[in-house]
Amino acid sequence: MSQIAILCSGGDVSGMNPALKRFVEYSFEKGLIPYFVQGGYEGLIDNLIVKASYNDVTGIIHRGGTKIYSARSKRFMQKKHRNTAAMNLKAQGIDKLVVLGGDGSFRGMDVFFKEQAISFCGIPATIDNDINGTQYCLGVDTALNVIKVATDNIRDTASSFKRAFVIEVMGNDCGYLALVSALTSGAEMCLIPEIQYDLEKLKIRYLKEVEQGRNYFIAIVAEGLANAKEIAQWFEDEIGFESRVTTLGHIQRGGNPTVKERLMAYQFCTYAIDSLLSGKSNSVICYNNGKFDFKEIYEINSKKYEIDKSLVSLGKSLLSK
Ligand code: ATP
């Protein structure tokens, strides 16, 4: 029987636990012995590699985060520690790894594969949805739903008090979470790093709307702009609305994985194991236009993620484009 391991690296996301469940169940179905690596690449170096059983994955499908812990690892950047990691895997006969993480984690795995000949398959997992080559990363749907609930709640109080609320959402330098959230929660403003905004243009429209009876504003801004306070002040000074800032922060990372998330986790994990069994050695599973496919690391890293133009077009007026 052949051995296979899974680990989580970089920021945790909801959807990792359903992926772990599928990993164990599908490995057994395929006649493989599944292992968990605890704490990402740190766990590889420290030999926290344990056999996984059905019992380990009962009762976890509805939980956010990851049962096997995630981490970032400075040590993994050094060859001597990667040698230790490879030795630990080989000692248990493991030559296949499934890695849930972001593009940084995949870059690390690519180096590891080239040095140590341990095959891997990457599953994109980051709420930022900023990995080039895939339209979907695990964790995104749950994060969007957390933002949706928070924004709906904020709207209730904003409309009762005639206020402007500026909601800062995660996403690093990527505006995907902000834009999709603004579109789906009926926000009046959306500011993202990818699109230059024009406050004067928005001001003309907002003042007209206020004249016609608008009594609250919801603005969603991406964390990459770091301008939530400044925009709140702008609402006070230019639009004449008392304003508040809400930074959603880490609540966006956690929570009960949505149905879509669980299903995506199951599919990503199935494709990952199938790809390793079919002999693919260093690929990442991507999801585009309703289909899964595989990309080599160089394709993922060859350019920066670009936000979907059709979404930008839908959000034109919110973005002041
Ligand atoms: P997130 O988007 O949540 O930050 P990520 O996977 O992009 O996830 P990183 O912190 O960029 O997160 O990378 C995770 C880990 O991958 C690093 O802590 C490091 O151990 C490893 N890594 C990244 N790049 C390399 C590299 N060039 N060589 C070796 N290891 C690397």
Q: How far is the CA of 13 from the centre of ligand 1 (A)?
A: 15
Q: Whose CA is nearest to atom 14 of ligand 1?
A: 105
**221-253 residue pLDDT tens:** 999 999 999 999 999 999 999 999 999 999 999
Q: How far is the CA of 102 from the centre of ligand 1 (A)?
A: 7
pLDDT at 298: 86
> What gap in Å lies between CA 82 and CA 86, rounded to an integer?
6
Does pTM top 0.85 for this prediction?
A: yes
- CB neighbours of residue 133 within 10 Å: 22
Identify the CA nearest to 257 among candidates 64, 26, 125, 94.
Answer: 64
SS3 210: helix
pLDDT at 161: 84
pLDDT at 193: 97
Q: What is the mean pLDDT of the chain?
A: 96
3-class secondary structure per residue, 122-150? EEEECCCCCCCCCCCCECHHHHHHHHHHH
Q: Whose CA is nearest to atom 28 of ligand 1?
A: 108
pLDDT at 6: 98
Active-site residue, selected from the candidate residues 12, 110, 128, 141: 128
Question: When comparing pLDDT for 320 and 40, which is higher?
Answer: 40
Ligand 1 atom nearest the C-alpha of 41 is 20
Q: Whose CA is nearest to atom 30 of ligand 1?
A: 108
Ligand 1 atom nearest the C-alpha of 82 is 29
- Verify whether ligand 1 is closer than 6 Å to residue 287 (CB atom): no
> From the CA atom positions of the chain, what is the Rg in Å?
22
- Verify whether ligand 1 is closer than 6 Å to residue 108 (CB atom): yes
**163-210 residue pLDDT tens:** 999 999 999 999 999 999 999 999 999 999 999 999 999 999 999 999
Instruction: Report DSSP state, residue 257.
Output: P
Residue 25 pLDDT more than 90? yes
Per-position b or e across 172-198, b if 16+ CB within 10 A of its CB: bebbbbbbbbbeebebbbbbbbbbebe
SS3 162: coil
Residue 302 pLDDT more than 90? no
- Verify whether ligand 1 is closer than 6 Å to residue 77 (CB atom): yes
Residue 1 pLDDT more than 80? no
Model confidence band, residue 140 (pLDDT cutoffs 50, 70, 90): very high
Residue 320 pLDDT more than 90? no
Active-site residue, 128 included: yes
- Poorest-pLDDT segment among 83-97, 150-164, 258-272: 150-164
